[in-house]
Amino acid sequence: MSERFEIVFLGTGGPLPNADRCGAGHVVVAGDTNVLVDCGWGAARKLIPSGVTPSSIGTALFTHMHSDHITDVPDFLFLRWVTGATTPLRVYGPEGTQEMIDGFMMALRRDIGFRIAHHGDKLHPNGIKVEVEEIPATESRRQFLDIGALRFESFEVNHFPVVPALGFRATYDDRSVVLSGDTKMCDSLSAASRDVDMLVCEALNVPMLQGMIDSLRPNAPLQAGTLEDVPSYHISTPEIAELARDANVGEVVLTHVLPSVKNDSAAEEAFMKGMSDVYPGSIRMARDTQRIPVRKRDS
């Protein structure tokens, strides 16, 4: 019987507010190990509804320092602490991760002191501590973490001018999954995705985004103008389909969808329209709190 290996989707939206989709966040579940990957706005609050106890997470990974991937870190740290964490959180991410964690911990310093004064030894002092290791950005895959039989590799992606930005490949029980992070189409993502069982990929629907831009332009020209910059550093749905086909990917799961769509099958199908004409494998769009198992791809 296969070991449990699945992705829990905490937040599947982008930086713009959406009632159905929070900022980026996932949990990689491998047997009894839970690893958090990114923690954008609202993602931490989706842990318990997703069936993941915050204190069960001992390791967190970050792809890059955009706000919609990091702003729920303070909530996660406190949720982890008050649900019983007794060891420091281990954090891995690109250059800038230490600065991000230091900034949040400085902002929380007084709150931490108040809670210790109030609750005493009911909260373990190590449970709110964080240990950071920054990962070099390399075009080819680089192994940086083993947790038992769960292995993580990192690779640099192209999210310029966000430099560095990383994607991750996780392997467990003879199955593999790539988490793209935010990126445009690039050779490093294609190479890392070769023969992977599941590709969890951010996704941009260009016509839908253009429709949003056109609707905003008359009354919100600044917002429309900033959205016009979005396609320059995100991967489009046709490109994802081509990558998955050429890399022999077993299954594609879309997340960080731009623009965010409602939890509605018709809207999701419209977003993915045309992808199946290029890539013959399974394509789906994840929703917040959904658990999707990583299955061995057909040879």
Report which of 171, 164, 185 is spatially closest to residue 233, judged by C-alpha positions.
Answer: 185
pLDDT for 155: 98
Residues of the chain with pLDDT under 70: 1, 299
Predicted confidence at residue 16, as pLDDT, reads 84
pLDDT for position 299: 60
Model confidence over 18-55: pLDDT tens digits?
A: 899 999 999 999 999 999 999 999 999 999 999 999 99
What per-residue confidence (pLDDT) applies to 128?
97
Question: What pLDDT sits at residue 298?
Answer: 77
Looking at residue 51, its amino acid is G
Show me where the domains of the chain are located: 5-293
> What long-range pairs does 134-140 form, CB within 8 A, spacing at least 24?
134/92, 134/93, 134/94, 134/95, 134/96, 134/97, 134/98, 135/92, 135/93, 135/94, 135/166, 137/94, 137/95, 137/163, 137/164, 137/165, 137/166, 139/187, 139/188, 140/188, 140/191
Q: What is the CATH number of domain 5-293?
A: 3.60.15.10
- Provide the pLDDT for residue 297: 85
Q: Which of 68, 72, 182, 197 is catalytic?
A: 68
pLDDT score at 63: 98
pLDDT computed for residue 1 by the predictor:
63
| Distant-in-sequence, close-in-space partners of 188: CB < 8 Å, separation ≥ 6 | 139, 140, 155, 156, 157, 158, 167
- The radius of gyration computed from the CA coordinates of the chain, to the nearest angstrom, equals 19
> Is 187 part of the annotated catalytic residue set?
no
Confidence at residue 65, expressed as pLDDT on a 0 to 100 scale: 98
